[in-house]
Amino acid sequence: MPNKSLSDAAIRQRLAEAIGRTRQNFIDDLIVKMPEIEGLQARIGACPGDRDALDRLAFLTHRMSGIAATVGFPEIGKRAGAIHDLVSSFERSDRHQTILSREIETLLDLMEDAVVDEM
Neighbour count for residue 103 (Cβ, 10 Å): 20
User: Has residue 2 got a pLDDT over 80?
Assistant: no
Residue 19 resides in a domain: yes
Please give the tally of structural domains in the chain.
Answer: 1
User: What is the domain-level CATH number for residue 90?
Assistant: 1.20.120.160
Q: Whole-number mean pLDDT of the chain? A: 89
pLDDT computed for residue 26 by the predictor: 94
Could you tell me the pLDDT band of residue 95, with boundaries at 50, 70 and 90?
Answer: confident
78 part of a folded domain:
yes
pLDDT over 90 at 5, yes or no: no
Compute the average pLDDT of residues 77-95.
86
pLDDT of residue 60: 96
Contact 71, 19 (CB under 8 A): yes
The whole-number pLDDT of residue 61 equals 96
Distances (CA, A) of 92 to 38, 87, 101: 19, 10, 12
State the pLDDT at residue 1. 47
Res 34: pLDDT: 96
Q: Using one digit for the tens of pLDDT, what is the confidence trace for 43-71?
A: 999 998 899 999 999 999 999 998 999 89
Residue 3 banded pLDDT, cuts 50, 70, 90: low
Judged by phi (left if over 0) then psi (alpha if -120 to 50, else beta), residue 72 lies in left
Predicted local distance difference test score (pLDDT) of residue 110: 94
| Residue 2 in domain | no
- In a 13 Å sphere around the CA of 35, the CA atoms on its Cβ side amount to 3
Range of the domain at 20: 8-118
